Structure 1
Protein backbone atom coordinates (compact mmCIF):
# COMPACT_ATOMS: atom_id res chain seq x y z
CA UNK A 1 0.00 0.00 0.00
CA UNK A 2 1.40 3.37 -0.93
CA UNK A 3 0.38 6.96 -0.44
CA UNK A 4 -0.35 7.44 -4.14
CA UNK A 5 -3.79 5.86 -3.84
CA UNK A 6 -5.01 7.62 -0.71
CA UNK A 7 -7.94 10.03 -0.89
CA UNK A 8 -8.49 12.26 2.10
CA UNK A 9 -11.51 14.46 2.64
CA UNK A 10 -12.59 16.45 5.65
CA UNK A 11 -15.71 18.32 6.62
CA UNK A 12 -16.66 20.40 9.58
CA UNK A 13 -14.82 22.76 11.84
CA UNK A 14 -11.22 21.97 10.88
CA UNK A 15 -8.48 24.26 9.67
CA UNK A 16 -6.77 23.21 6.44
CA UNK A 17 -3.28 23.73 7.89
CA UNK A 18 -4.10 21.54 10.92
CA UNK A 19 -5.31 18.75 8.64
CA UNK A 20 -2.22 18.98 6.43
CA UNK A 21 0.07 18.91 9.49
CA UNK A 22 -1.65 15.78 10.85
CA UNK A 23 -1.45 14.06 7.46
CA UNK A 24 2.24 14.86 7.05
CA UNK A 25 2.95 13.56 10.56
CA UNK A 26 1.16 10.26 9.96
CA UNK A 27 2.40 9.46 6.45
CA UNK A 28 6.01 10.55 6.87
CA UNK A 29 7.22 6.93 7.06
CA UNK A 30 5.19 5.64 4.12
CA UNK A 31 6.84 5.14 0.76
CA UNK A 32 5.11 6.14 -2.44
CA UNK A 33 5.09 3.08 -4.66
CA UNK A 34 3.47 2.52 -7.98
CA UNK A 35 0.16 0.70 -7.92
CA UNK A 36 0.31 -2.82 -9.32
CA UNK A 37 -3.35 -2.73 -10.35
CA UNK A 38 -3.88 -0.39 -13.28
CA UNK A 39 -7.50 -0.56 -14.38
CA UNK A 40 -7.49 2.58 -16.54
CA UNK A 41 -9.18 2.18 -19.87
CA UNK A 42 -10.92 -1.08 -19.02
CA UNK A 43 -14.57 -1.45 -19.98
CA UNK A 44 -17.03 -2.94 -17.49
CA UNK A 45 -18.28 -6.43 -18.33
CA UNK A 46 -21.55 -6.73 -20.24
CA UNK A 47 -23.48 -8.57 -17.53
CA UNK A 48 -22.43 -6.17 -14.78
CA UNK A 49 -21.68 -8.99 -12.34
CA UNK A 50 -18.16 -8.74 -10.99
CA UNK A 51 -16.73 -10.18 -7.82
CA UNK A 52 -13.13 -9.49 -6.93
CA UNK A 53 -11.47 -10.53 -3.71
CA UNK A 54 -8.01 -9.25 -2.89
CA UNK A 55 -6.38 -10.75 0.17
CA UNK A 56 -3.86 -8.62 2.00
CA UNK A 57 -2.55 -8.10 5.50
CA UNK A 58 -3.91 -4.56 5.80
CA UNK A 59 -6.82 -3.63 8.01
CA UNK A 60 -8.65 -1.50 5.46
CA UNK A 61 -11.80 -2.40 3.58
CA UNK A 62 -12.93 -1.05 0.22
CA UNK A 63 -16.40 -1.91 -1.01
CA UNK A 64 -18.12 -0.91 -4.20
CA UNK A 65 -21.76 -1.71 -4.77
CA UNK A 66 -23.44 -1.22 -8.08
CA UNK A 67 -25.23 -2.91 -10.85
CA UNK A 68 -27.41 -2.45 -13.83
CA UNK A 69 -30.33 -0.13 -13.27
CA UNK A 70 -33.55 0.61 -15.08
CA UNK A 71 -33.56 2.88 -18.10
CA UNK A 72 -34.50 6.49 -17.49
CA UNK A 73 -37.45 6.03 -19.83
CA UNK A 74 -38.70 2.89 -18.08
CA UNK A 75 -42.36 2.84 -17.07
CA UNK A 76 -41.58 1.80 -13.52
CA UNK A 77 -43.19 4.86 -11.97
CA UNK A 78 -39.98 5.95 -10.29
Structure 2
Protein backbone atom coordinates (compact mmCIF):
# COMPACT_ATOMS: atom_id res chain seq x y z
CA UNK A 1 0.00 0.00 0.00
CA UNK A 2 2.91 2.39 0.65
CA UNK A 3 3.96 2.00 -3.00
CA UNK A 4 0.58 3.31 -4.12
CA UNK A 5 0.79 6.29 -1.75
CA UNK A 6 4.32 7.23 -2.86
CA UNK A 7 3.29 6.95 -6.52
CA UNK A 8 0.34 9.26 -5.91
CA UNK A 9 2.53 11.78 -4.09
CA UNK A 10 5.14 11.84 -6.87
CA UNK A 11 2.38 12.29 -9.49
CA UNK A 12 1.10 15.47 -7.81
CA UNK A 13 2.21 18.68 -9.54
CA UNK A 14 5.23 20.29 -7.90
CA UNK A 15 5.26 24.06 -7.53
CA UNK A 16 8.18 26.44 -7.15
CA UNK A 17 7.10 27.08 -3.56
CA UNK A 18 8.00 23.49 -2.61
CA UNK A 19 11.52 23.60 -4.03
CA UNK A 20 14.33 23.63 -1.46
CA UNK A 21 17.15 26.21 -1.56
CA UNK A 22 20.09 25.11 -3.70
CA UNK A 23 17.98 23.19 -6.21
CA UNK A 24 17.58 23.99 -9.90
CA UNK A 25 14.28 23.17 -11.59
CA UNK A 26 12.65 23.68 -14.99
CA UNK A 27 9.32 25.48 -15.39
CA UNK A 28 6.71 23.18 -16.95
CA UNK A 29 3.57 25.32 -16.73
CA UNK A 30 2.22 28.61 -15.42
CA UNK A 31 -1.19 28.65 -13.79
CA UNK A 32 -3.09 31.76 -12.83
CA UNK A 33 -5.06 34.22 -14.87
CA UNK A 34 -4.59 37.54 -16.65
CA UNK A 35 -2.35 40.11 -14.95
CA UNK A 36 -0.77 37.60 -12.55
CA UNK A 37 0.31 35.27 -15.35
CA UNK A 38 1.53 38.23 -17.46
CA UNK A 39 3.60 39.61 -14.55
CA UNK A 40 5.26 36.22 -13.96
CA UNK A 41 6.08 35.92 -17.67
CA UNK A 42 7.42 39.50 -17.76
CA UNK A 43 9.92 38.51 -15.06
CA UNK A 44 11.32 35.90 -17.46
CA UNK A 45 9.67 32.91 -15.83
CA UNK A 46 8.29 31.04 -18.83
CA UNK A 47 7.80 27.40 -19.79
CA UNK A 48 11.19 25.71 -20.17
CA UNK A 49 13.10 28.33 -18.15
CA UNK A 50 15.66 27.04 -15.66
CA UNK A 51 15.15 28.42 -12.13
CA UNK A 52 17.68 28.19 -9.29
CA UNK A 53 16.24 28.67 -5.79
CA UNK A 54 18.77 30.72 -3.81
CA UNK A 55 16.97 31.29 -0.51
CA UNK A 56 13.60 31.01 1.14
CA UNK A 57 12.71 33.40 3.96
CA UNK A 58 12.07 31.80 7.38
CA UNK A 59 8.29 32.05 7.00
CA UNK A 60 8.42 31.05 3.33
CA UNK A 61 7.81 34.50 1.90
CA UNK A 62 9.53 35.68 -0.29
CA UNK A 63 11.44 33.10 -2.33
CA UNK A 64 14.71 34.35 -3.80
CA UNK A 65 15.48 32.83 -7.22
CA UNK A 66 17.85 33.21 -10.15
CA UNK A 67 16.30 32.98 -13.62
CA UNK A 68 17.93 33.92 -16.94
CA UNK A 69 20.87 35.49 -15.08
CA UNK A 70 18.68 37.77 -12.93
CA UNK A 71 18.05 37.53 -9.21
CA UNK A 72 14.40 37.91 -8.25
CA UNK A 73 12.32 37.72 -5.10
CA UNK A 74 8.81 36.43 -5.59
CA UNK A 75 5.92 35.98 -3.20
CA UNK A 76 5.00 32.48 -2.12
CA UNK A 77 1.53 33.02 -3.59
CA UNK A 78 3.12 33.66 -6.98
CA UNK A 79 5.47 30.69 -6.54
CA UNK A 80 2.44 28.42 -6.12
CA UNK A 81 1.37 29.32 -9.67
CA UNK A 82 4.64 28.07 -11.19
CA UNK A 83 4.70 24.31 -11.85
CA UNK A 84 8.17 22.79 -12.09
CA UNK A 85 9.95 19.47 -12.59
Indicate whether the TM-score tops 0.5: no
Q: Which has the higher helix share?
A: 2
Normalised by the length of structure 1, the TM-score is: 0.24
Q: Which has the higher strand share?
A: 2
Normalised by the length of structure 2, the TM-score is: 0.22
Report which of the two structures shows the higher radius of gyration computed on alpha carbons.
Answer: 1
